[in-house]
């Protein structure tokens, strides 16, 4: 079941400060928020998929002999 997360929860899950979320959305393919009332919220499974993709990118670099 998908869950909507507030900004602070999302930032904690991503391991960044909440101000960094906008930068990640604009530059690094981070999922865009949805509106829940007047508040922004992120879907937990979308954030997890973004994290999984970042881990896969790192693992591919390491497997190719690069340093991450």
Within 8 A by CB and 6+ apart from 29, the residues are 50, 53
Backbone angles phi, psi at 24, to 5 degrees: -65, -40
Domains of the chain: 4-63 (1.10.1660)
Considering the entire predicted model, what is its pTM?
0.90
Q: What is the pLDDT of residue 68?
A: 60
Q: What is the pLDDT of residue 46?
A: 98
Q: Which residues of the chain have pLDDT under 70?
A: 67-68
SS3 content of the chain, % helix, strand, coil (to 5): 55, 15, 30
Are 30 and 21 spatial neighbours (Cβ–Cβ below 8 Å)? yes
pLDDT in tens, 52-67: 999 999 999 999 887 6
């Amino acid at each position: 079941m998908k869950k909507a997360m507030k900004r602070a929860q999302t930032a904690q899950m991503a391991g960044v400060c909440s101000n960094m979320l906008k930068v990640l959305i604009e530059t690094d393919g981070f999922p865009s928020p949805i509106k829940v009332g007047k508040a922004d919220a992120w879907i937990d499974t979308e954030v997890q998929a973004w994290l999984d993709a970042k881990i896969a990118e790192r693992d591919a670099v390491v497997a190719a002999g690069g340093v991450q």
